[in-house]
Every structure is written in structure tokens, then in C-alpha cells.
Amino acid sequence: MSILAPAPPSAATASAPRTLPRRRGGEPASVLATLVLLLGAAYCLLPVLWVVVASTKSGGELFSTFTFAPSTHLLENVSDLNAYRDGLFWRWMANTALYAGVGALLSTVVSAMAGFGLAKYRFGGKKAIFNMLLAGVLVPGVVLAIPQYLLLAQIGMTNTYWAVLLPQIISPYGIYLARIYAAASVPDEIVEAGRTDGAGEGRIFRTLALPMMLPGLVTVFLFQFVAIWNNFMLPYIMLGDDKLYPLTVGLSGLLNQGASQPALYTLVITGALLSIIPLIALFLTLQRYWQVDLAAGAVKA
Amino acid sequence: MTATQDAPTTTATSRRTTAGRDGRRTAPYFFLAPAIVLFVVFLALPIAYAVYLSFRTEQVSGLGLGSGARTQVWTGFTNYAQALTDPEFLASVGRVALYGVIVVPTMLGLALIFALMLDSRRSRARGFSRISIFLPYAVPAVISSLLWGFLYLPDVSPFYYVFDRLGWDVPSLFSSNLVIFAVANIAVWGGVGFNMVVIYTSLKAIPTELYEAARLDGCSETRIAWRIKIPIVTPSIIMTFVFSMIATLQVFAEPTTLKPLSNTISSTWTPLMKVYRDAFIRGDLYSAAATSVIIAVATFALSFGFLHLVQSRAFGQEK
């Protein structure tokens, strides 16, 4: 089975500035290759640029002035958004941070433990357990949402924070990655040395294995964080109370109301801008962890 | 690293050896317990429950009033037969198939081209382009649908502004023929950067000596790309293909978000939208469960079928 596996976060991104001088010396620039890249960048930046400009416009200007002509109403729009139902938007932001932050952290801990257990021990049923977990990678996640809803409804847990948080802690893919990381970064000799020193298995995991697996676990955390942050269907199904909504469900609902009250459109647009800032910041600061190597996973598995 | 400081004293060691051997046997189960419990509760059990429901139905006796008038009974494959002959379901499957045919090759083709250009030593602005193209991965599908949705509205869109100035009469992207491209564009925009990084990472792993040798033999950069780079990154492309296919079958957030902006997207536009409508708007859990199971089985069949096909074709000789 071969799934995504992160490469050691060092090579490409870190060396980009260092190759600069070499680049200038040798190869002639290719106009075509550069143009293709810049066109791709323009395509990908266009909607982001639009939302930055559009969030500076008043409701009337949105439909009357040229798309990329900026205006001066950004602060007004933000304060309108603050005022919308006593700051409901910030509540959505906090909910999203809670779902994604706590969910991804718990998911990383569970994945790290399971990955370490699978990589460093021999025990009965190991292969069966691993295959079962791996099959989970291919289960279309959204197909689970309805039976999950029905099961949680029977114990009265729908429409609570738990309903969105708990189903997203298990990440078969995270376990798979953690296993690769534990196998590659924690030498058996270190585990043995820990045992000789009399450390218990739990202590070996916490104090020896965990620090060694950390760079890989950051990748596991990021994947799960983005997956939860972007998830729409699960909270959409689970939640009825809009105070519990994450940003995705909240903004989608606001857009829905906008169909009858176009005044809400400026709120939706300003909200969209504010909601992508945190993730973009996270991306830019943790860039070096975004190295995804599919083939390495294929070779190792 | 910190462990050396906490190393226990020697007297503790001798006492712990027997306990340690015991611990070593139970430890893996302890480490795996949270994962297994969560897996069973939130994956295995819901799947089993969905399968169970898909074979059940509600029988109404009398006028269906009062408690006890509705009873759950076994119904065999009736729900499946109904789902598979439902014109709305078949239409949504056809739509998603066409959508997949548009999205997957376009997205992966662009991702491969961008990855090759990033890997080419002759391109410029690589850092900027890599970050810019990867950026949409940080934007949730709901938000990107919302942004593109506004860019499609003729009153807001810069494209329609230009078309208008040129005197062209371009039909709305929300018209029934074009809306599938409108949705597909959002998926391509959101996915191209991630797939580019996947392919680019595996390009980076190729030892440069391979190119040096080819260059000495007088190979052009294009030839190197076709003959060396693309064949080596093929396993990555296959995996991105499978994952993209799975994502395509599950398309839900984009059309659901665009729906209020356009009246051409029905509530059964994709199979999952139909599942949602059946379960939560019509309250027919049983047929929704049957449809979910069909989608899950189709996803498995497609991913394994495809992997099997490419494995016997491409990697057959390696074994």
C-alpha cells in the first residue's frame, strides 16, 4: 500500500536561497518555463487578490465599481462584521481554531502512539490491525458522516462540540505516516538502551521516541489541522446551533441568507478574507514541513 | 535526549526487569488502544450501521399515525434496486463522472507541468510561484467556492467586464451547460498546488547524476523530462490520481456553497448531495444509507481496480 509520506523536511525548501548564485552563473533563463509558472501563480492568486480588494468596498460599490478598483471601507466592513449578531463571526473563528487545534493535537498523539506501537513491537494481530487501519485511508470520509450522525444522535451527542471533535481524531493516514516516521527515526538500539536503563515502555515512548519523531509529527499535525479546518460536511450535518459552527458552515449559511439580503454579501466577503489569513500565515511560517513524498511511502511499505 | 538525565538508579533496574518484560508484551496494545477504539467507534461501527440500515425500511400501517404505526422491517435489496434505478441518482452519477473527467486530468496535468517547470534549472521566480500555486490548499473548499462564485457573477466578475467592453456576449457560467465547468474550475484551483508539491517532492528525490549523464549524451531538457523525470515520478502521479478520484466522487462542499448563487444547481446535483437531501430533508435514512453504501463500494472498486490495472501494466515486470 502506498500513501503520502513526508520526506525529511530539509532538502528542497531550505536550499532554495542557497542555489541563487549558482542559478545566475550557469543556465540561461527559459522565458517559456518562467511564463508558465507565473501564469499558474496569477491564476492561483487571482481570487485571493479579489477578496482583498472586494473587502474594501461598500455594499453598493461591490456591484457598481470595477472588480479590482479598491475602495476605503475595509474598517467599516470589519466593524460591521464584528457587530453582526454580537460578534458571531469571531465565535466561528474560535470554534474553528478549537476544532482544528485540539482535534489535530489529539489526532497527532493517537497517531504517534499507534505508529510507534506498530513500528517498534512484534505482537499478535499486528498485520491484521495495520491492514484494518490502512483500509480506513480509502474509506470515503463523507460517506461516514450520516451513520456517524445517527449513532451520535442515539446518545444525544449531536449538536455539541464533541460531535465535530471526536470523529476527526482518528486519522488512518496520520497513523500510517507516524509508523513510517517511527521506523525511520527511532533506532532499535535506543529503545533497547532505554530498557536496559530500566525505563518503562511508556517512558521510552515519551522521553526517547517522541522527540525523535517530532519533525514527522509536525507534518501529521498540519495535515490533520488543514483537513479539519477545511471540513464542511461533518459540522454541516452534526450541528444545528449556529453558535457551535466553524467558519466554513457559518459563512456558507451567511451566503445562503445573502441571496435574499444582498447587504450580507460584504459581510461574507470580509469574513472570507479574515478566515483565510490564519491558515495562510500558518502555511508561510511552516513551509518547510510541506514536503509530500508519495513514492517514498510506496517503497517503504 | 532528555532521557539520560532521568535514567533511574541501578537498584531500580534489577527490580524492573521482570516487570519490563511483561510491559513489553502489553505495551503495543496499550499504544494502539486509543486508535483501535476510535477506529471501531467512528469508522467500523458507522459503516456496519449504514449497511444494516440499507437493508431496512419503515413500514407504515394504517394511516401511519400514532406510535407503533411505523415499524422497521427487513427489506432485502429493495433500497439498492430503488437507488440504482432512480433517475435523479443516475443523473448525479453521470454529472460526477463528467466532472471527474474534466477535473482529474486537468488538475494533474497542470500539477505535473508546474512541478517540471519548478524543477527546471532554467525557470525563474520559482520560490514565488511555488508558494502562490500551493496557497489555495490553505483555502477551505467553501471559501474558495464563495470567492469564485462572486468572480463568476456577471455584475462582479472582471472577466465579464472585459467581455462587455469587447462587446462579446458570453453566457453566464451559472447557465446549465457551463455550471459544471464553474464547479470543476474551483476543484482544479484548490487541488493543483497540493498535487504539484507531491510530484515536485518526488522529482527532487531523483539523483542529479542521472541528468548529468543524459546531458553529456546530448539529451535536451524536454527529452530528459519525458524519458527520465516523468517515468520516475509515475508512482506519485498514480497515487495522486487515486486520491483525486476519491475526492471527485465525494464532491459536496463546492456545489452546496454555489447553490444560493445559481439556480442551475439542484439539491441532487452530486450523489452526496442526494444522500444529504434524502437523509436530512426527506428523512428517508434507509435509501440514503443504501446510496452511501453504493458510493463507498464504487469508490473502493474504482481505486483498487485502477491500482490493480496500473500495477499489472507498469510494475508487472519488476516482480
Domains located in chain B, CATH noted: 3-44 (no CATH), 86-318 (1.10.3720.10)
Residue A223 or residue A117, greater confidence = A117
Residue from the list A118, A150, A279 with its beta carbon closest to the beta carbon of B138: A279
- The span from the CA of B211 to the CA of B228, in Å, is 8
Q: Do the chains contact at A48 and B139, CB–CB below 8 Å?
A: yes
Rounded to the nearest 10 degrees, the angle between the axes of helix B126-134 and helix B87-119 is 160
Residue from the list B36, B129, B252 with its beta carbon closest to the beta carbon of A129: B36
**pLDDT of residue A12 exceeding 50:** no
**pLDDT of residue A295 exceeding 60:** no
Percent of chain A past pLDDT 70, that is, above it, reads 85
Place of cell 482535534: A103
Residue A134 to chain B, least CA–CA distance (Å)? 11
pLDDT tens per residue, range A159-218: 999 999 999 999 988 998 899 889 988 999 999 999 999 888 999 999 999 999 998 898
Are B142 and A272 spatial neighbours (Cβ–Cβ below 8 Å)?
no
Domains and CATH numbers, chain A: 88-300 (1.10.3720.10)
Residue A244 or residue A7, greater confidence = A244
pLDDT tens per residue, range B136-189: 998 999 999 999 998 998 877 878 888 888 888 878 888 888 899 999 999 999
Percent of chain B past pLDDT 70, that is, above it, reads 88
Residue A259 or residue B129, greater confidence = B129
**pLDDT of residue B317 exceeding 50:** no
Contacts of A139 in chain B (CB under 8 A): 43, 47, 296
Which residues neighbour B163 within 8 Å (Cβ) at sequence distance 6 or greater? B169, B170
Site from A1, A146, A284 to mutate, B interface, most B CB atoms within 10 angstroms = A146
Average pLDDT over residues B83-95: 94
DSSP alpha helices (H): ranges in chain A? 11-15, 20-25, 31-54, 59-64, 74-83, 88-120, 126-138, 141-154, 161-165, 172-185, 188-196, 201-203, 210-230, 233-238, 247-258, 264-285, 294-300
Residue B267 to chain A, least CA–CA distance (Å)? 14
**pLDDT of residue A275 exceeding 80:** yes
- The span from the CA of B143 to the CA of A279, in Å, is 12
Contacts of A129 in chain B (CB under 8 A): 32, 36
| Torsion angle of C-alpha atoms B277, B188, B299, B174, degrees rounded to 10 | 30
Question: How many contacts does A have with B, using Cβ atoms within 8 A?
Answer: 346
pLDDT at B3: 42
Contacts of B39 in chain A (CB under 8 A): 132-133, 136, 170, 172
Q: List the one residue out of B121, B107, B127, B309 whose CA is nearest residue B198.
A: B107
Three-class secondary structure of residue B128 per DSSP: helix
Are B158 and A67 spatial neighbours (Cβ–Cβ below 8 Å)?
yes
Contacts of B235 in chain A (CB under 8 A): 2, 294-295, 298
Residue B268 or residue A16, greater confidence = B268
Amino acid at A93: M
Percent of chain A past pLDDT 90, that is, above it, reads 49
pLDDT tens per residue, range A100-136: 999 999 999 999 999 999 999 999 889 899 888 878 8
Q: Do the chains contact at B47 and A113, CB–CB below 8 Å?
A: no
Amino acid at A35: L
pLDDT tens per residue, range B38-74: 999 999 999 999 999 999 998 877 665 666 667 888 9
Are B135 and A283 spatial neighbours (Cβ–Cβ below 8 Å)?
yes
**pLDDT of residue B78 exceeding 80:** yes
In whole numbers, what is the pLDDT of chain B averaged over residues?
A: 85
- On the 0-12 / 13-18 / 19+ scale of CB atoms within 10 A, B10 is exposed
Residue from the list A146, A256, A259 with its beta carbon closest to the beta carbon of B292: A146
pLDDT tens per residue, range A74-106: 899 999 999 998 999 999 999 999 999 999 999
pLDDT tens per residue, range B208-261: 888 888 888 888 888 888 888 999 888 889 888 988 988 888 899 999 999 988
Strand partners, B56: B74
Are A9 and A219 spatial neighbours (Cβ–Cβ below 8 Å)?
yes
Contacts of B47 in chain A (CB under 8 A): 139, 144, 147
Nearest residue of B to residue A261, measured between CA atoms: B260
Q: Which chain B residues in 122-181 lie under 8 Å from chain A, judged by CB atoms? A: 122-129, 131-144, 146-151, 155-158, 161
Among the ranges given (A30-34, A88-92, A109-113, B109-113), the one the predictor scored with the smallest mean pLDDT: A30-34
Q: Which chain A residues in 146-205 lie under 8 Å from chain B, judged by CB atoms? A: 146-148, 150-151, 166-167, 169-170, 172, 175, 194-205
**pLDDT of residue B111 exceeding 90:** yes
- The span from the CA of A217 to the CA of A182, in Å, is 10
Cell of B102: 474534466
**pLDDT of residue B303 exceeding 70:** yes
* Secondary structure of B161-219 in HEC code, one letter for each residue: HHHHHHCCCCCCCCCCCCHHHHHHHHHHHHHHHHHHHHHHHHHHCCCCHHHHHHHHCCC
Residue from the list A38, A144, A248 with its beta carbon closest to the beta carbon of B46: A144
Q: What is the ipTM of this complex?
A: 0.84
Average pLDDT over residues A20-35: 68
Strand partners, A293: A5
Supply φ then ψ for residue A260, to 5 degrees.
Answer: -100, -20
Would you say the C-alpha torsion A136, A142, A147, A153 has a positive or negative sign?
positive
Q: Do the chains contact at A208 and B3, CB–CB below 8 Å?
A: yes
- The span from the CA of B75 to the CA of B93, in Å, is 24
pLDDT at A67: 75
pLDDT at A68: 80
Average pLDDT over residues A214-231: 89
Contacts of A140 in chain B (CB under 8 A): 246, 249-250, 295-296, 299
- The span from the CA of B207 to the CA of B209, in Å, is 5
pLDDT at A104: 96
In whole numbers, what is the pLDDT of chain A averaged over residues?
A: 83
Q: Which chain A residues in 281-300 lie under 8 Å from chain B, judged by CB atoms? A: 282-284, 287, 290-296, 298
Q: How far is CA B312 from CA A196, B59, B179, B242, B309, in A?
A: 48, 48, 38, 16, 6
Which residues neighbour A168 within 8 Å (Cβ) at sequence distance 6 or greater? A99, A103, A107, A224, A227, A228, A231, A234
Contacts of A175 in chain B (CB under 8 A): 35
Rounded to the nearest 10 degrees, the angle between the axes of helix B87-119 and helix A31-54 is 120
Strand partners, B57: B73
Q: Does A138 touch chain B (CB under 8 A)?
A: yes
